[in-house]
Amino acid sequence: MSITKICCIGAGYVGGPTMAVIAQKCPHIQVTVVDLNEERIAAWNDENVDNIPIYEPGLSDIVAEARGRNLFFSTNVEKAIDEAQIIFISVNTPTKTYGKGKGMAADLKYIELCARQIARIAKDNKIVVEKSTLPVRTAEAIKSILDNTGNGVQFQILSNPEFLAEGTAVTDLLNPDRILIGGDTSVEGQKAIQSLVDVYANWVPADKILTTNVWSSELSKLTANAFLAQRISSVNAMSELCEKTGADVNEVARAIGMDSRIGPKFLKASVGFGGSCFQKDILNLVYIAKSYGLNEVADYWEQVIIMNDHQKRRFSNKMVQTLYNTVADKKIAFLGWAFKKDTNDTRESAAIYIADDLINEQAQIAVYDPKVSSRKVLADLDYLETRTSEKNSANVTSFSDPYEACASAHAIAVLTEWDEFIAYDWQKIYDGMQKPAFVFDGRNILNRVALESIGFIYQGIGS
């Protein structure tokens, strides 16, 4: 089938950038991204492309090129479903906060709502693509809903998980390591796979497009995230041992990364991984393993999360200990709030948990992040429900100028690896701070020797 109309349900961090790139690379295909969130869609349609709701390097240029030509953002979900030949589902699949599997399983209510809506509206055959990250065998449930509540039309379900990382979404989408498409082994299933392969083939070399059965594709996505997060927890575990033994985790990572079997990527010790997916996907993997009675498998992967929680807690404990066992009423400047550089996303950012711990110790937190608003910082803390929002507001202030955030602070915590932090005038920052002036570099990005020569007391991760 020659594809001319695609729709994507969910205009978030995956749906927005992915569809923008498909539209840019396939001008002959009309791509409509729909969402229930009117504010988000309005922001995607903002005349000034700098106001689109997601910050990703290079994204606004692509949106500027394709929007209004063959890329559209809309709240009219029904119309987009009705017209499309391929429907991507890119809605959120957060950890369940209620009922069976609470705190572990993926919450599939948004996925099911999409399936029911597609079934109700579709009047001709459709290919439905799971773009969201889903538990293995979710396609079975989607198919059952579509086939049993639909209008008698044929549906093919494909799994096409997204591997982009935030902050590098555009380059990841333009030059993916691979595109994974899982589908049914039937003739119809293979035809559907080919239709989607043809879309990606507009810019992705054929040898990078991998096709599998649906279950392999679904499980590969969880596996990839588990392996990536495992590397971070592994290096973070070694960082604690480094601190006790005089080894330097940066040197250890470099030494092991030169082994071609290990490789250099994803070995950066940190205050802990954040982001909307690693924790959620591993918890989901643990839940799936447990539900099959595979307790050893579940325990093995759960340790990645336990280590990550430990790393965050260890960082805040170390700050308090170093600051003479009290941070009460002390100003602590946070450089960075986003979960990594080059994104405005703060979901599960380590900064939130460090702030929460320090507020419990009655610290005054001053936040500077180049892309995160003060409203978002407070909303993230309120979401934890540790204390009232009045109390959070009383203890946390955001600044639009990093030098002001650091002025008269007792300590600075670097929590996101934004490049601009490295280029700051650290002498000026030092001069404005309380003495002794401490820097806790949760990303190991600053020059220790240079800071110590200014007079800072510097503590990195794992050295």
Sheet holding 331-335, edge to edge: 396-398, 364-368, 331-335, 411-414, 438-441, 457-459
Residue whose CB is nearest to ligand NAD in the complex, by number: 12
Q: Could you say whether residue 18 binds ligand NAD (CB under 6 A)?
A: no
Minimum distance between the CB of residue 170 and ligand UGA, rounded to whole angstroms? 13
User: Contact residues for ligand UGA (CB under 6 A)?
Assistant: 133, 162-166, 225, 228, 232, 266-268, 270, 273-275, 277-278, 339-340
Contact 177, 210 (CB under 8 A): no
Shortest distance, position 416 Cβ to ligand NAD, whole Å: 16
CB of 228 to ligand UGA, least distance (A): 5
Beta bridge partners of 458: 439
- In the bound complex, what is the minimum distance in angstroms from residue 66's beta carbon to ligand NAD? 18
165 annotated binding-site participant: yes
Q: Is 270 annotated for ligand binding?
A: yes
Answer yes or no: are the C-beta atoms of 339 and 348 closer than 8 Å.
Answer: yes
The annotation status of 430 as a binding-site residue, yes or no, is no
Binding residues for ligand NAD, rule CB under 6 A, total 27
Comparison of 17 and 275: residue with beta carbon closer to ligand UGA: 275
Helix, strand and coil content of the chain, in percent to the nearest 5, comes to 45, 15, 40
- Judge contact between 439 and 412, C-beta under 8 A: yes
Q: Which residue is it, tokens 């606004």?
A: 60
| Active-site entry in 7, 8, 277, 406 | 277
3, 43, 64, 113: residue in contact with ligand NAD (rule CB under 6 A): 113
Query: Between vectors from CA 288 to CA 285 and to CA 291, what angle results, nearest 5°?
Result: 150
Q: Is 271 annotated as a binding residue?
A: yes
Region of 186 please: left (phi>0), alpha (psi -120 to 50) or beta: beta
Catalytic residue status for 114: no
To the question of whether residue 123 is assigned a binding role by annotation, the answer is no
Give the C-alpha separation, 174 to 25, whole Å: 9
- The DSSP bridge pattern shows strands 364-368 and 411-414 to be unpaired
**What DSSP designation does 103 have?**
T
Q: Which is nearer to ligand NAD, 275 or 402 (CB)?
A: 275
| Calpha distance 214→411 (Å, rounded) | 51
Tokens of 103: 């705190």
> Is 163 annotated to bind ligand?
yes
Residue list 264-303, contact with ligand NAD (CB under 6 A)? 276-277
Residues near ligand NAD (CB under 6 A): 9-15, 34-37, 40, 77, 90-93, 110, 113-114, 132-133, 162, 164, 166, 276-277
**Active site (catalytic) residues:** 277
Residue ranges for the known binding site are: 10-15, 35, 40, 91-95, 132-133, 162-166, 221-225, 261, 268-274, 277-280, 339-340, 347, 443
- Per the annotation, binding residues for NAD(+) are 10-15, 35, 40, 91-95, 132-133, 166, 277-280, 347
